[in-house]
Amino acid sequence: MVGEGVLFECLDNTAVSEVLIIGRRSYGMQHAKLRELIVKDFSEINDHSDVLSRYDGCFFCAGVSSLGENEESFTRKTFDFVVPFAASLAKINPGLTFIYVSGNRTDSTEKGSVMWARVKGRTENTLMKLPFKGQYNFRPAIMKGFKGQKNVKTLYKIMGPLLAPFLSAKTLKLSDVGKAMIHAVASGYPTQILEVEDILILAKRGH
């Protein structure tokens, strides 16, 4: 859902000249700016260093829900999924800005009682040590999708409009998330962890 929304913003945004989707299957969209790199496993990106060295930023929006997961399985699908990919990319293109979509209330101490928050905190902390030009961790909460998005969870479709009036400070449009990511690549941000308020500030930069 987040990746698709960020993709829509990148394709619409004049500051972006080209977008490369890295995935295991084709997204199925035709656009003048859009390219795809299909891999069986993300470890294969080392075979495509010539392509990946051309880009200025990587927006890592993939992730899974913690529902039904124990700490071992959630770690495997989160930390073990993101960090090796990012580490490989840092070797291929250290001049790149890497942005990871984490989550509201992620636990930077890695010691709290909430399992998913600890795992995401560990993931953020490890990513911040990688030798990228820039590395930022976005912590959105409730998000509103783009019109025409295919990948919007039913819960968001139903509850998003109902919750938004009560959680306005915690509500983001996916277009704002995308704009903030683009501005982070272009001009950076003072902190590596961006809460909802930071994302909104960065999204408005240049307006």
- CB within 8 Å of 89: residues ≥ 6 apart: 45, 52, 58, 96, 98
- The dihedrals phi and psi of 173, each to the nearest 5 degrees, come to -85, 145
Domain that holds residue 155: 2-203
Task: Measure the CA angle with vertex 103, ends 99 and 104; round to 5°.
Answer: 125
Give the CATH number for residue 24. 3.40.50.720
**For residues 56 and 16, is the Cβ–Cβ distance under 8 A?**
no
Mean pLDDT by 10 residues, the chain (207 residues): 92 97 94 97 95 98 92 97 98 98 96 97 98 97 68 48 50 92 97 96 84
Q: What is the pTM of this model?
A: 0.88
Count of structural domains within the chain:
1
